[in-house]
Amino acid sequence: MDHADQRLIALYLEGRMTDDEFAAFQRRLRDDPGIRARLRAEANLESALHDLTATDARVTELWNAAGGEADESNGSPSRDRRAVFRPLWRAVAAVVALGILTGLLIWLNAEDPVEHAVTAALWDRAGSVAVVDSAGRLRSVDAGVTLRPGDKIRSHGDNSFATVGFTDGTRIQLVGETSIALSGTEPMRFTLFSGLITAKVARQPDDNPMVIETPNDLVEVLGTEFALETSSEHTDIHVRSGRVRLIRSTDGKAVLLSKGERALSDVHKDELLIKADRAPADTWEESFEQRLPGDWRRGEFVRNDLPAGSLGGVRNQFEPRWNSYLIDSSMRWIEGLFVVHADTHLHFTFMMEQPGWMNLFLLTRTHDESNPTDLFQYNAAPFSSATPDAWYMLSIPLSQWKRNDDQHGTGFVGPPPPSGDLVCAVSWSSRHVDRGLVIDRVWVTRGGPGKVEMTPLR
Amino acid sequence: MPDDPAQDNYERFVRLFTRHEAAVRAFVRAMMPRPDHCDEIMQEVSIVAWRKFDDLATAGGDEFCRWACTIARFEVLKHRRRLARDRLVLDEDVLKLLADEALDEIEVRSRQREALDGCLKKLKPAQRELVIQAYSPGPTISEIAAALGKTRDALYQALRRIRAQLLICIERSLERETGL
């Protein structure tokens, strides 16, 4: 294998060949089994690198710390970038906010105020966030960096967020796997490609509202607070105050939403559904009797070898990208699965084919605008003492969970979820080893044993 | 206890497919390196494989992988016909050569993938960090290069050197372990 052949293979896999190079490459492939074998070996390596690094991405981005997945053989977690940066970002954000406030006071006191153009800036971020300009170049993600029309802002991983602030006081927060593009600042206009934003929008001119485009809808905002979630198939908007108009692009159907109202535009449904706002639930239950709920993100529905009388359960599912075996509940950012109280307990009935270490995670929505999500871990040591294939009930007070708070490089050592926070997702996870975890039922109550309790099912 | 043969069959299929998905994906990637093409083909492979799964009623895991790769070979060729006018799409005769030879290499490629983890650990920390950045979902090569203050070409060169190093390490690991 000479250098020229290696170069051709590399260029081909990188997708960067000229037409002449490609013609030469095809000739070499026809003539030489050696270069064909080398191409397959390199493609195999590329594919495996994507799989393996996605595992690392899972560790550093989704769960935000390798400590969350520390196993028996290696209990040393990696550092949590988010927690390390958090105090710095808060300080910088405070300085930026102070600067804006000072500017505002100067403007208010000026005898002859000048019309200032509204500009946008990245105010804060945590986890994995990228800003790319219209030419595809990566831009700085330093707090305070000015954003320009055409910039795309992307937060990557469930526990990441980015806050975009405008000089009129409007604030847009991207949460989790979300990407937006800023189209303009006067009028304010941007595209939400997918994911979830929360927004506090300063009063806009009646004839020039802020406009948000989603894949299938337009949202006009005059000044309000709301949460907006979108995918290629739906737009879900929840208005906390003020008024917002949702317009479906395909047929022009529109609905005006007021405080406490929620609308769902779905490409498979004719009507724009409006739901009344509901108080967050104190309890939660899934029993998987007929099927795995459609929005559960990972897990296989099973019908066999369940406790007496049960018709269905969920088994952990291998996720090759992260080399992990997972059961992931639905992600309910807007309404939450349940609200945290001091006496909240999570219970589930389970069986394991290979008992051993596992982790449980809770993703929560906080009331802290500078830190909208938190991740909590419970290292489920009791699993290790289970008998293979036997059924148990495990009860865990939420006070036993620990926040990812890795300022000292020690992983999940923070306090438990505070009362009032919303739990948006629950996950069970083991890396590398298929524990064969099957859950028959999971439920949340107020009150319980007040300690971790695992009892065999009869 | 309820016993639903169709459900059991489906669960068995999902387990086999997820276990061998990486091998099938690597097989496809040699012929269709663009990730979006690869994803489209893998989606078709999973649908066709499930539809024909009854044909494989008695097969074990190893047979499943080879069977799924045979389906993938067909789907690659089908996809290629749709892309015939695109740039950097190999001619059908070249794809057939690559695919037919790859079917005999499934086991060794699988061992190579298993050896990779150990070889990554032998890289220098900066090299490993670069690999993680370059192959993780998210930023493009251009974005990473800009962030590191390098040119895109310089970054590609650095990654080529690392890949060559990894391939040598993998070959040596297999020689030591299996005498291959």
| Phi-psi sector, A107: left (phi>0), alpha (psi -120 to 50), beta | alpha
Residues A416 and A442 in one domain: yes
Q: What is the pLDDT of residue A389?
A: 93
A77 in any annotated domain: no
- Give the chain A residue nearest B139 (alpha carbons): A130
Contact B112 A45 (CB under 8 A): yes
Higher pLDDT, A84 or A15: A15
Query: How far apart, in Å, do the first and last CA atoms of chain B sit?
Result: 48
ipTM of the complex: 0.89
A203 in any annotated domain: yes
CA distance B115 to B166: 10
Mean pLDDT of chain A: 78
Contact A54 B137 (CB under 8 A): yes
In tens, the pLDDT along A309-337 reads 999 999 999 876 566 789 999 888 888 89
Last residue of a domain, one of A256, A276, A296: A276
Q: What is the pLDDT of residue B43?
A: 82
A70 in any annotated domain: no
Last residue of a domain, one of A276, A306, A336: A276
What is the count of structural domains for chain A?
Answer: 3
pLDDT per residue rounded down to tens, chain B (180 residues): 345 566 667 777 777 887 788 889 888 988 888 877 888 888 888 888 888 887 776 555 458 888 899 999 999 998 888 776 677 788 889 998 998 888 888 888 888 888 888 888 888 877 887 887 788 766 678 777 877 778 888 889 899 999 989 998 888 888 776 543
Q: What is the pLDDT of residue A69?
A: 31
Residues A271 and A335 in one domain: no
Residues of B with Cβ-Cβ distance to A305 under 8 angstroms: 1
How distant is the Cα of A220 from the closest Cα of chain B, in angstroms? 30
Higher pLDDT, A141 or B25: B25
List of residues 6+ apart from B116 with CB closer than 8 A: A45, A48, A49, A52, B166, B170
Q: What is the pLDDT of residue A327?
A: 94
Contact B101 A128 (CB under 8 A): no
Among A30-44, A259-273, B127-141, the least confident range: B127-141
Contact B4 A303 (CB under 8 A): yes
How distant is the Cα of A13 from the closest Cα of chain B, in angstroms? 6
How long, in residues, is chain B? Answer: 180
Q: What is the pLDDT of residue A450?
A: 93
For position A309, which CATH number holds? 2.60.120.260
Q: What is the pLDDT of residue A287?
A: 94
Residues A248 and A300 in one domain: no
Work out the average pLDDT over A164-191.
Answer: 85
- Cis amide linkage into residue A187, ω under 30° from 0: yes
Residues of A with Cβ-Cβ distance to B150 under 8 angstroms: none
Residues A186 and A162 in one domain: yes
- Give the chain A residue nearest B164 (alpha carbons): A42
Q: Nearest by CB to B113, which of A39, A44, A132?
A: A44
pLDDT exceeds cutoff 60 at A63: no
A335 in any annotated domain: yes
- Give the chain B residue nearest A56 (alpha carbons): B132
How distant is the Cα of A288 from the closest Cα of chain B, in angstroms? 14
Work out the average pLDDT over A169-179.
Answer: 87
CA distance A65 to A103: 39
DSSP, res B10: H
Tokens 């996950």 label which residue?
A427
List of residues 6+ apart from A39 with CB closer than 8 A: A9, A12, A13, A29, B30, B98
A381 in any annotated domain: yes
In tens, the pLDDT along A387-398 reads 999 999 999 999
Residues A294 and A393 in one domain: yes
CA distance B148 to A258: 47
A111 in any annotated domain: no
In tens, the pLDDT along A96-112 reads 333 333 333 333 333 33
Residues of A with Cβ-Cβ distance to B111 under 8 angstroms: none
In tens, the pLDDT along B85-123 reads 677 788 889 998 998 888 888 888 888 888 888 888 888
A434 in any annotated domain: yes
Residues of B with Cβ-Cβ distance to A138 under 8 angstroms: 139, 142-144, 146-147
Higher pLDDT, A152 or B138: A152
Higher pLDDT, B166 or A142: B166
Is residue A342 within 8 A of residue A205, CB to CB? The reply is no
The CB density around residue B85, as the number of other CB atoms within 10 Å, is 6
Q: What is the pLDDT of residue A449?
A: 93
How distant is the Cα of A157 from the closest Cα of chain B, in angstroms? 10
Residues A272 and A298 in one domain: no
Residues A295 and A268 in one domain: no
Residues A45 and A152 in one domain: no
Q: What is the pLDDT of residue A57?
A: 44
CA distance B115 to B123: 13
Higher pLDDT, A58 or A387: A387
The CA-CA-CA angle for residues B110, B111, B114, to 5°, reads 90
Residues A10 and A48 in one domain: yes
Residues A220 and A297 in one domain: no
pLDDT exceeds cutoff 80 at A213: yes
Q: What is the pLDDT of residue A405?
A: 67
Contact A41 B117 (CB under 8 A): no
Q: What is the pLDDT of residue A115?
A: 40
A75 in any annotated domain: no
Q: What is the pLDDT of residue A103?
A: 36
Higher pLDDT, A297 or A73: A297
Higher pLDDT, B76 or A374: B76
Residues A303 and A223 in one domain: no
CB-based contact, B166 to chain A, within 8 Å: yes
In tens, the pLDDT along A217-260 reads 899 998 888 888 887 778 889 888 888 999 988 788 889 998 88
Q: What is the pLDDT of residue A99?
A: 37
Range of the structural domain that residue A230 is part of: 117-276
Residues A253 and A359 in one domain: no
For position A124, which CATH number holds? 2.60.120.1440
Q: What is the pLDDT of residue A286?
A: 95
User: What CATH number does domain B112-180 carry, 3.90.480.20, 3.30.300.30, 1.25.40.10, 1.10.10.10?
Assistant: 1.10.10.10
Last residue of a domain, one of A246, A276, A306: A276
